[in-house]
Chains A and B, each alone.
Chain A
Amino acid sequence: MEKVLSVTMEIGTLSGVVIDSFQFGFDTLTTGERLLGESNLIIRTPDAVCRCSDCGHVMMSSGIRTEQCPLCRNRLLIPESGDDLVLRQVEME
């Protein structure tokens, strides 16, 4: 393997990770690197899935945060996904 062509990350909308900052950091750290210097950062942003802590209703949320459960109006929603930072794939040559 001579070089890394691409790095694929999954950054959930509830992860607290700022995508622009992540991209900036990646570019800064890889510039001039033998293996990573020409690599592309591919970022996927999966929608968050939340579960109501009271009635258990499961809902999708493509925005920053769902305000409340549409069924019981409870506001404490537990993220089931979309709160993680995941290294998905590395493509090499």
Chain B
Amino acid sequence: MEGSSLLMLIYVFVLATFVGVELINKVPPTLHTPLMSGSNAISGITIIGSLIAAGLGEITASSIMGFVAVVFAMINVVGGYLVTDRMLRMFKKK
């Protein structure tokens, strides 16, 4: 994907937002907390960018920031998915 794709990226953003709205509107109120923590974990996807920044090879301001970003994003990802799983395991039907 090279630079000229700005419009493509915006397309993707707009369409994904529509998909998100359609899907989230169907989530029942009883699952709103796990929905939040679970979607929170998804927003940890920014880990992709931080991995590349942390792996630049030399120790620079960028790689240090990348390292901190890996830690932050990983807390977000691991903490988010695990706590969501912990909550959802508690939901039982009679």
Partners in one complex: no
Residues of A within 8 A of B (CB): none
